[in-house]
């Protein structure tokens, strides 16, 4: 019937006037009209219920989608961070080959930041290493050359096995270099060597000397026609030498068979370069018409350029990093405008090496401040200088990474100072306040240092997310302990949420992350608390002897009234018997206070993730009290207390449950369905069997009046 | 014995070649220390030195025990260059190892560039007659074709172990005497030259 009616309304040609006219002409008498009206009313009600349901579902869907988006957003940030790392790696790798001198050797694809660090580190090591070896700088020219192992050895006569002299050997990935010791005079500093010979690993055989009379710990190099015997200082060193040589040789052979074509191409390129510069030399006598050529080529280096490496060294040593950077930049410009000559090449190599060195010093500086235990504000401030330079030198990703590490360290240091004294709440309050305000400050600072670099912004988001996760997991450990009651917990969680919300000012929302982290421990605590309440209610119920409450003084009475008003569960006038007597039992009053407290705590915590648990807890606690009331009503022992019971049941039904429904709706925005069902059931099973229904005052619960059930 | 052995004491450099697992190390250790090693542990490159009396003359033998494993094939040249004589070992129980001797022979001749390099074809594991896969005739045929002696040994029973090393040393010694006769005093110069030719580049 109502279906048919509904069909009427959704037809296109429906007009209310026509419908009403039609209806009134068909109806006979007022009764029929009233009947029709009721039907339409019914339809309206069901439609509005449907609408509500729809809204609720949409709302839920909306929340789900919003969460989904949040997750996606973090993933996007992560992705963008990865991409930017890759990109900066690639670009660094490109410049790595030759910072100043634009020369495109084939670019290998690095896979990680570590790889890049290693590459640079090994290059730098190589430079530092070779600086102590006279005549070995030419070894730097081969890109990708790395020192795998080095050490001092004692050379022995290959025939007799007698000691000859101490040498220093360097194993590279492609060659083995033997250097002899140079007298260091009385100069301080690292020992100096002079390059003696370089053996190509390909034509070098390494033999483990198992037996050479009394000679122990020796190995042999065969590189026709040389046979050389070296003695190590200990067994470990010997084993390492043999292993490293073996590895290097195998690698070299594997590479050689792979990279043959590329290798030859590269070498022809180098040759070409040299022939070009040589032909320039040979043209010296002729009158060149290329003026620029002539100008740049014949002019000797300006003085500053001649001293550039020494100057750079001293700048870096004196920590005048900015000055060093400027000098490098200046040299770059000079080199780019000059034509390649052997001298220029050499200087370029040297400048490159200083450039690496500077980068390394700066990174090291940052790393050291990360490691430093006592991080004052100054640590970050001084780091800013290094970071700025690194950004200028195209090492943004690295700088960003290190800076964030530094931020972490600084945050940790600051939080360490928060001592755990007294109770949980002050500690949690202090800790989270300090942590969040620091995260906020550090983030703002970060954005100032790395402005307009979107890649770094994503790194920041990840950093914040990580720090907050870490912090919250620490807080969880502190808060979720049996000694901390639910209401204290609520206080803490609300505070943390508020702090978290502040970060949205910077466009970062970690609330869903926080809620997610809290979900499991919170659910457990809610359930535990619920059980504790139920136990307490059971105990009190067993002691309930159903007596009116006597408050003894007017003051007590007024206090109670005020208290209940405050809780939103005012005492109905009908319950006031005379003077200080009220027809609510102590049990009911205690339950009411307890329950409203629980309710408020729960509603303060509620999130879509926890709403299920919360509803369950609220319902099951109520049910225990309901059981008590019901079993008392049917207990003959309390036969004469029927009226008192009715008053209590009604108060429970109307005021307590009513307040619960009201509060729930005002916080969550929709009805507490399960409770409505429970309320109805309670009314039906308990109150309606009463033979003397009395009107119930509805002071604070106008919306959820339940009189219609009575 | 003496701290400064006389410069006259000869040093003969022998190289053990052959496929993996044929018993090069076993032969070497048996010769060096009179012991037989049952376990197989692939060799990379080991060298041994021993004083022996060769026909009444005290000499030193330097044995380079090389890797038979295929993955070292690419770097064999470097080892072979330093050898004065070769024991080319196969196992009579494994035909593949016998076939491989052909390759070793060719590589040695190529590297040493000398048809008459002291060389012995050695059929090892002669104690395992019941497992023999390479007939005596077959092996002898090949040795005759190459113009080198063929000896069967057992590193386990020590059969012919000393013989192969001493026979080879004799060949090396006579080659050295021939060389000396051919170009007087050159052998010594050679040793000196080695130390000077250091600076490349
Ligand atoms: N029965 C018997 N076993 C032997 C003999 N010689 C070697 N073996 C065994 O054969 C195995 C391999 O011997 P090795 O001497 O290690 O072989 P290898 O030629 O040095 O092998 P690579 O070092 O890999 O080139 C070991 O288990 C030895 O005990 C032999 O004459 N008789
Ligand atoms: Mg071996």
Q: Considering only CB atoms, which chain A residues are within 8 Å of B49?
A: 161, 209, 211-213
Give B97 Cα–ligand 2 centroid separation in angstroms: 14
Angle at B123 between CA B119 and CA B128, to 5 degrees: 165
Say whether A197 and B49 touch across the interface (CB within 8 A). no
> Rounded CA gap, A213 and A222, in Å?
19
Looking at residue B158, its pLDDT comes to 95
pLDDT band at residue A387, thresholds of 50, 70 and 90?
confident
The distance between the two most distant Cα atoms of chain A, rounded to a whole number of Å, is 136
Angle at A577 between CA A575 and CA A581, to 5 degrees: 100
Q: Within its chain, how far is the Cα of B21 from the centroid?
A: 16
> Rounded CA gap, B16 and B23, in Å?
10
Q: Are A211 and A197 in contact (CB under 8 A)?
A: no
The residue among B63, B134, B65 whose CA lies nearest residue B102 is B134
Lowest mean pLDDT across A643-647, B24-28, B155-159, B160-164: A643-647
The residue among B185, B186, B119 whose CA lies nearest residue B146 is B119
The residue among A636, A644, A646, A661 whose CA lies nearest residue A691 is A646
Residue A346 clears pLDDT 80, i.e. is over it: no
One DSSP character per residue, A493-542 reads: HHHHHHHHHHGGGGT---HHHHHHHHHHHHHHHHHHHHHHHHHHHHHHHH
Of A143 and B106, the structure prediction assigns the larger pLDDT to B106
The 10s digit of each residue's pLDDT in A605-646 is 888 888 889 999 999 999 998 888 888 888 777 777 778 888
Looking at residue A95, its pLDDT comes to 54
- A622 three-class SS: helix
State the average pLDDT for chain B.
86
pLDDT band at residue A259, thresholds of 50, 70 and 90?
low
Of A424 and A108, the structure prediction assigns the larger pLDDT to A424
Q: Which two tokens stand for residue A650?
A: 């009604």
Residue of B nearest to A139 (CA): B201
The 10s digit of each residue's pLDDT in A299-335 is 567 778 878 888 888 888 888 888 888 888 888 888 8
Angle at B16 between CA B12 and CA B18, to 5 degrees: 155
Looking at residue B140, its pLDDT comes to 95
pLDDT band at residue A695, thresholds of 50, 70 and 90?
very low
Residue A704 clears pLDDT 80, i.e. is over it: no
Q: Which two tokens stand for residue A504?
A: 């949205």
pLDDT band at residue B19, thresholds of 50, 70 and 90?
very high
Looking at residue A557, its pLDDT comes to 85
Give mean pLDDT, residues A549-577.
Answer: 86
Looking at residue A254, its pLDDT comes to 77
Nearest ligand to residue B68 Cα: 1
> Rounded CA gap, A526 and A605, in Å?
10
Give mean pLDDT, residues A73-100.
Answer: 67
Residue A352 clears pLDDT 50, i.e. is over it: yes
> Rounded CA gap, A482 and A460, in Å?
36
Name residues contacting ligand 1 (CB within 6 A): B 18, 20-26, 37-40, 42-43, 67-69, 124-125, 127-128, 154-156
Q: Are A347 and A308 in contact (CB under 8 A)?
A: yes
Q: Which of B48, B81, B193 sits opposite A211 (nearest CB)?
A: B48
Residue A94 clears pLDDT 70, i.e. is over it: no
> Rounded CA gap, A106 and A11, in Å?
74
Give B103 Cα–ligand 1 centroid separation in angstroms: 20
Looking at residue A667, its pLDDT comes to 86
State the average pLDDT for chain A.
78
> Rounded CA gap, A390 and A366, in Å?
10
Bridge-based pairing state of the strands B45-54 and B11-17: unpaired
Looking at residue A336, its pLDDT comes to 81
> Rounded CA gap, A600 and B162, in Å?
99
Q: Within its chain, how far is the Cα of A310 from the centroid?
A: 44
Q: Considering only CB atoms, which chain A residues are within 8 Å of B198?
A: 196-197, 226
pTM of the model: 0.47
Tally the C-alpha atoms within 13 A of residue A7's C-alpha that lie toward its C-beta. 4
Q: Among B40, B44, B132, B152, name the best residue to mutate to test ligand 1's pocket (greatest count of ligand atoms within 8 A of Cβ).
A: B40
The residue among B163, B121, B169 whose CA lies nearest residue B30 is B163
Q: Which residues contact A408 (CB under 8 A, 6 or more apart)?
A: A463, A467
CA-based Rg of chain B, rounded to a whole angstrom? 17
pLDDT band at residue B175, thresholds of 50, 70 and 90?
very high
Distances (CA, A) of A474 to A404, A517, A664: 20, 11, 31
> Rounded CA gap, B13 and A228, in Å?
15
3-state helix, strand, coil in chain B (%, to 5): 45, 20, 35
Q: Which two tokens stand for residue A175?
A: 């060659």
pLDDT band at residue A116, thresholds of 50, 70 and 90?
low
pLDDT band at residue B152, thresholds of 50, 70 and 90?
very high
pLDDT band at residue A290, thresholds of 50, 70 and 90?
very low
Say whether B48 and A210 touch across the interface (CB within 8 A). yes
Share of chain A above pLDDT 90, in %: 11
pLDDT band at residue B159, thresholds of 50, 70 and 90?
very high
pLDDT band at residue B188, thresholds of 50, 70 and 90?
very low
Residue of B nearest to A205 (CA): B78
Whether A545 has its CB under 8 Å from any CB of chain B: the answer is no
Residue A282 clears pLDDT 50, i.e. is over it: no
Of B29 and A389, the structure prediction assigns the larger pLDDT to B29
Number of H helices and number of E strands within chain A? Answer: 22, 11
Residue with tokens 């109670």: A560
Give A175 Cα–ligand 2 centroid separation in angstroms: 27
Of A284 and A420, the structure prediction assigns the larger pLDDT to A420
Residue B200 clears pLDDT 50, i.e. is over it: no
- A156 three-class SS: strand
Q: Which residues contact A644 (CB under 8 A, 6 or more apart)?
A: A546, A547, A548, A583, A585
The residue among B142, B163, B168, B143 whose CA lies nearest residue B153 is B163
Residue A253 clears pLDDT 70, i.e. is over it: yes
Looking at residue A379, its pLDDT comes to 65
| Phi, psi dihedral angles at A229 (to 5 degrees) | -120, 130
Helix A29-97 with A113-131: angle, nearest 10 deg: 20
Beta strands in A183-298 (DSSP E): 192-200, 205-209, 218-223, 226-231
Of B141 and A323, the structure prediction assigns the larger pLDDT to B141
Q: Considering only CB atoms, which chain A residues are within 8 Å of B190?
A: 225
């Amino acid at each position: 019937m109502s279906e048919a009616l509904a069909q009427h309304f959704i037809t296109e040609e429906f007009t209310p006037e026509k419908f009403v006219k039609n209806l009134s002409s068909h109806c006979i008498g007022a009764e029929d009209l009233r009947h029709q009206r009721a039907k339409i009313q019914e339809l309206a009600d069901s439609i509005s219920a449907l609408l509500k349901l729809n809204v609720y579902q949409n709302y839920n869907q909306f929340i789900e989608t919003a969460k989904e988006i949040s997750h996606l957003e973090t993933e996007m940030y992560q992705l963008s961070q990865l991409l930017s790392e890759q990109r900066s790696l690639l670009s660094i790798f490109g410049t790595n080959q030759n910072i100043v001198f634009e020369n495109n050797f084939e670019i290998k694809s690095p896979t990680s930041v570590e790889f890049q660090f290693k590459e640079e580190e090994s290059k730098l090591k190589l430079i530092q290493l070779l600086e102590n070896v006279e005549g070995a700088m030419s070894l730097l020219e081969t890109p990708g050359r790395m020192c795998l192992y080095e050490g001092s050895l004692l050379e022995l006569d290959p025939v007799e096995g007698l000691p000859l002299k101490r040498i220093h050997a360097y194993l590279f990935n492609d060659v083995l270099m033997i250097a002899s010791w140079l007298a260091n005079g009385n100069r301080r500093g690292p020992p100096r060597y002079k390059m003696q010979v370089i053996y190509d690993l390909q034509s070098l055989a390494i033999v483990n000397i198992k037996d050479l009379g009394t000679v122990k710990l020796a190995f042999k190099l065969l590189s026709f026609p040389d046979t050389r015997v070296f003695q190590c200082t200990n067994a470990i060193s010997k084993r390492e030498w043999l292993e490293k040589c073996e590895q290097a040789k195998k690698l070299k052979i594997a590479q050689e068979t792979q990279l043959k074509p590329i290798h030859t191409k590269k070498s022809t390129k180098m040759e070409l370069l040299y022939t070009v510069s040589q032909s320039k030399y040979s043209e010296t006598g002729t009158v060149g018409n290329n003026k620029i050529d002539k100008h740049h080529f014949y002019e000797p280096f300006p003085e500053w350029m001649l001293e550039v490496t020494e100057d750079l060294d001293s700048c870096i040593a004196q920590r005048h990093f900015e000055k060093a950077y400027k000098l490098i930049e200046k040299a770059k410009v000079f080199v780019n405008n000059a034509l390649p000559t052997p001298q220029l090449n050499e200087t370029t190599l040297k400048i490159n090496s200083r450039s690496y060195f500077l980068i390394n010093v700066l990174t090291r500086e940052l790393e050291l401040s990360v490691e430093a235990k006592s991080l004052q504000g100054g640590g970050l401030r001084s780091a800013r200088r290094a970071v700025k330079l690194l950004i200028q030198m195209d090492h943004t990703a690295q700088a960003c990474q290190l800076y964030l590490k530094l931020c972490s360290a600084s945050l940790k240091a600051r939080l360490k100072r928060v001592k755990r004294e007294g109770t949980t709440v002050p500690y949690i309050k202090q800790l989270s306040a300090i942590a969040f305000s620091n995260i906020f400050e550090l983030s703002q600072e970060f954005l100032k240092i790395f402005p307009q670099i979107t890649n770094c912004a994503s790194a920041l988001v990840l950093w914040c997310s990580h720090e907050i996760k870490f912090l919250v997991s620490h807080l969880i450990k502190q808060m979720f302990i049996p000694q901390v009651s639910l209401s204290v917990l609520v206080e803490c969680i609300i505070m943390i949420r508020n702090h978290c919300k502040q970060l949205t000012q910077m466009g970062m929302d970690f609330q869903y992350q926080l809620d997610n982290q809290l979900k499991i421990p919170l659910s457990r605590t809610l359930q535990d608390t619920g059980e504790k309440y139920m136990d307490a209610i059971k105990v009190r119920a067993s002691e309930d002897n159903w007596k009116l409450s006597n408050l003894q003084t007017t003051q007590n009475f007024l206090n109670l009234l005020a208290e209940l008003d405050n809780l939103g569960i005012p005492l109905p006038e009908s319950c006031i018997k005379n003077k200080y007597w009220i027809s609510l039992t102590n049990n009911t009053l205690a339950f009411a206070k307890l329950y409203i407290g629980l309710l408020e705590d729960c509603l303060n915590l509620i999130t879509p993730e926890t709403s299920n648990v919360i509803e369950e807890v609220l319902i099951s606690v109520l049910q225990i009290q309901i059981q008590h009331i019901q079993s008392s009503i049917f207990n003959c022992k309390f036969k004469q207390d029927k009226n008192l019971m009715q008053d209590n049941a009604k108060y429970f039904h109307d005021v307590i449950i009513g307040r619960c429904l009201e509060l729930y709706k005002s916080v969550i925005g929709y009805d507490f369905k399960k409770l409505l069902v429970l309320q109805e059931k309670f009314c039906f099973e308990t109150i309606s069997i009463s033979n003397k229904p009395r009107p119930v005052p509805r002071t604070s619960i106008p919306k959820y009046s339940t009189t219609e059930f009575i | 014995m003496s701290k400064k052995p006389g410069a006259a004491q000869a040093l003969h450099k022998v190289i053990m070649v052959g496929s993996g697992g044929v018993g090069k190390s076993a032969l070497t250790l048996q010769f060096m220390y009179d012991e037989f090693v049952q376990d197989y542990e692939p060799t990379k490159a080991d060298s041994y030195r021993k004083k022996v009396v060769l026909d009444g003359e005290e000499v030193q033998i330097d044995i380079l025990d090389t890797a038979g494993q295929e993955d070292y094939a690419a770097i064999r040249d470097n080892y072979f260059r330093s050898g004065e004589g070769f024991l080319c070992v196969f196992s009579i129980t494994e035909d593949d190892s016998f076939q491989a001797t052909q390759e070793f022979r060719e590589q040695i001749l190529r590297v040493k560039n000398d048809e008459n390099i002291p060389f012995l074809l050695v059929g090892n594991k002669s104690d395992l007659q019941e497992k023999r896969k390479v007939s005596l005739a077959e092996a002898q045929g090949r040795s005759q074709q190459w113009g080198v002696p063929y000896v069967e040994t057992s590193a386990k029973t020590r059969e012919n172990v000393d013989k192969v090393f001493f026979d080879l040393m004799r060949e090396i010694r006579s080659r050295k005497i021939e060389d000396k006769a051919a170009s007087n005093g050159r052998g010594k110069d050679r040793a000196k030259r080695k130390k000077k030719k250091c600076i490349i580049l």
